[in-house]
Amino acid sequence: MVTKAITAATAGIDAYKIEIEVDVVNSLPSINIVGLPDNAVNEARERVRSAIKNSGFSFPKGRLIINLAPADIRKEGTNFDLPIAIGILKEEGIAIPDDNETAFLGELSLDGSIRKVNGVLPLVSGLKDAGIKTVFVPEENAREAALIQGINVYGAASLGDIVNHFAETPLKPTVVNINDFLGMHSEQDYVYDFKDVKGQQKAKKALEIAAAGGHNVLMSGSPGSGKTLMAKCFASILPPLELEEAIELTKIYSISGLLESDKPLITKRPYRAVHHTASPNGIIGGGINPKPGEITLAHRGVLFLDEMAEFPRNVLEVLRQPMEDGEVTISRTRLSIKYPAKFTLIGAMNPCPCGFLGDKEKQCTCSDFQIKRYLSKISGPLLDRIDLIINVPRLSSDELINIKTESESSAEIRKRVINARKIQTERYKDEGIFTNSELNPKQIKKYCALDKESSEFLKIAAQKYSLSGRKFHRILKISRTIADLACSKNIELSHISQALQYRVDMPDKV
């Protein structure tokens, strides 16, 4: 008799249904798993046999054939242990319903207990989409699974628990109220707050514009200018995650194994600081067992590259495509996987190798050639994807002491950012974009129209600074965000002149 059990496998942050068929034939005892299993799935044979025996159930005598269907997709991971065991138990006549509406996922210990697995959120989400009504998951993953509404979730601690569930001791379904998690964090949760950053009004305003319009930023300044601290503060002024974004982000962290069982939903926009020694696979994603890279972990949040000019050029270059597309494709044998990667890039760099070019107190010791070579690390095409380039001068101790005014708190800035985002969401509801940074040339024409006076002003500025078409568009996009922050329907002359204050080129070329 052939029995079956349903489970799922992930592809990127999505998942699809897998059917496991078990058959026993009269032959010498052995177990064969077919249907493109990877090593971890193949090793299920030993775990499943011990788990079944040690749970007090009998194990079929003869040759066991386990087929994972569809057969043309590689199956990886350990979540197949439990459904394979269920299929075998059914084969042994244990009363577990052989229906098409119940699925199982989990890794088995040799003693029959069920261990937590990665990717439960996308797996359960995929099962629900495939019409599954009930899913059994490891107890530790139950809350994460229950974030998917409209499917019954049971958390089980052992194989015995599941058999008993269908006999006389039903498990309790796990139910979570998703709204309990959202709005869970407030401004106080952030360690770094703009109120602790003295001075640097222009840089702070640029970061506010970046947060409001989703623009990428590059800060150039001497060591000690506070650019790293400001980059850390940036996360505290971003708008809260919408539910859909939170689920999407949680899927990413779930398959990466970065979800804590007591915090099943990611509720904060991520802030990923990447060091220049990180491997390309670590940043972009990939490797032998491909995992999402930093750019995907930074999805809907911030990717911070400190000392940006120190990054290997090839690493910076591979960032370009994801920055353009908002996703990254990782090619593999038989399958290429797409991971989302819509992040705001914050870059920081010194103005020259020694760090003190343009500093008021310290002398720069670099030659022109050294400076040129250093700055050329950030290529033109990459710069084209960075809307705001700002100079962050180091303040002298006298200047710092003389700053008497209190700095505005992140909470205050965040209010304006949220408001500006709302205006953009409403304006672009039929365009399929969310922020001004995503505007294409056609949309710029439509949404960044200027009156005659402003148009003349920008034309003169374009001639004076010899702005290329791309830079011209950048100025318009930033002006649109500045206008949104001021709750102004139209882009005014003052918004354009403010946008022009932000450097649109590398330090040595301005």
Q: Site residues (CB under 5 A) for Zn ion?
A: 352, 354, 357, 364, 366
CB 355 → Zn ion: shortest distance, Å? 6
Residue placing its CB nearer to Zn ion in the complex, 83 or 353: 353
Residue placing its CB nearer to Zn ion in the complex, 218 or 352: 352
Burial of 121 (0-12, 13-18, 19+ CB in 10 A): buried
391 within 8 A of 506, measured Cβ to Cβ? no
Residue entry with tokens 């974004």: 245
CB 361 → Zn ion: shortest distance, Å? 13
Sheet containing 388-391: give its strands across. Answer: 271-274, 302-305, 344-349, 217-220, 388-391
CB 364 → Zn ion: shortest distance, Å? 3
264 within 8 A of 250, measured Cβ to Cβ? yes
CB 370 → Zn ion: shortest distance, Å? 7
Tokens describing residue 123: 């797996």
Residue placing its CB nearer to Zn ion in the complex, 284 or 357: 357
Residue placing its CB nearer to Zn ion in the complex, 307 or 317: 307
The DSSP line for 4-68 is EEEEEEEETTEEEEEEEEEEEESSSSEEEEESSB-HHHHTHHHHHHHHHHHTT-----SEEEEEE
CB 360 → Zn ion: shortest distance, Å? 14
Residue placing its CB nearer to Zn ion in the complex, 123 or 354: 354
CB 81 → Zn ion: shortest distance, Å? 59
Tokens describing residue 231: 């980059």
Q: How far is CA 330 from the centre of its chain?
A: 15
Residue placing its CB nearer to Zn ion in the complex, 336 or 365: 365
CB 356 → Zn ion: shortest distance, Å? 5
3-state secondary structure of 236: helix
Residue placing its CB nearer to Zn ion in the complex, 240 or 358: 358
Residue entry with tokens 């008799």: 1
Q: Judging by DSSP bridges, how do beta strands 63-69 and 327-332 pair with one another?
A: unpaired
Burial of 183 (0-12, 13-18, 19+ CB in 10 A): exposed
Rounded CA gap, 403 and 397, in Å? 10
CB 365 → Zn ion: shortest distance, Å? 6
Residue placing its CB nearer to Zn ion in the complex, 302 or 354: 354
Burial of 402 (0-12, 13-18, 19+ CB in 10 A): exposed
Which residue in 226, 261, 145, 230 sits closest to 410, CA to CA?
A: 230
Residue placing its CB nearer to Zn ion in the complex, 360 or 459: 360
Number of other residues whose CB lies within 10 A of the CB of residue 198: 15
Rounded CA gap, 426 and 434, in Å? 9
CB 198 → Zn ion: shortest distance, Å? 25
